[in-house]
Chain A
């Protein structure tokens, strides 16, 4: 157990659905991240929140909408997704000190299938 949980673990949704992915960290960290892993591609950073403020948005389409209500919780709201958005979505957290050296702790991911 890494101290980062994600729900649901699996999600199937239609292109017109709205759903949300949830991440919770129990490590007291001050930064949280969303990553996407598509087949045969590297893990790709989507969003970074530091002290509950979004500091990075890696040119992600607006059909993905993150929310960080407090330092322990992170959501990814999904709306009108496309089949090519099917992927594994991973959440991570870290304690930011001197950015870049800190270990990021990952959740197990949500496997998303868009039909």
Chain B
């Protein structure tokens, strides 16, 4: 059974703080790791898809890294802003399956 874990489950930070959160997943038969950003009452929005060990991706102030050998990915937000407040989801796929297995998400609140 593929189990994806995210930590912490929630985080409150002040505007300007940098944050990072962790997604862990089984490393055996790993295929891809997806990060999504989900604002309340909106659709989850894709941030990154990563497949290779050591991958690093960046989108503005948000970046992510991937370690497939130990089964984790980090998501960093530099200089958090109130508009970064959202739930951040990670999901993993195995062995070429299109089935995304999601973690419970990490709810970020950035206070002005």
Residue positions of A touching B, CB distance < 8 A: 2, 4, 31, 40-45, 48, 50, 56, 90, 94, 96, 98-109
Contact = CB atoms under 8 A, between A and B. Distances in A.
B42 A108 contact: yes
A101 B46 contact: no
A45 B45 contact: no
Contact of A103 (B41, B42, B46, B96): B46
Nearest to A42: B102
Interface of B: 4, 31-32, 34, 36, 41-46, 49, 51, 89, 91, 93-105
Main secondary structure of the interface of A (DSSP, over half): loop
Contacts of B34: 103-104
Greatest chain B CB density within 10 A among A42, A56, A98, A104 is at A42
A44 B45 CA distance: 17
Contacts of A102: 49, 98
Nearest to A104: B100
Contacts of B89: 43
A48 B1 CA distance: 18
A101 B41 contact: no
Contact of B99 (A42, A56, A105): A56
Contacts of B42: 108
Contacts of B93: 99-101
Contact of A108 (B43, B51, B100, B103): B43
Contact of A41 (B46, B51, B104): B104
B31 A101 contact: yes
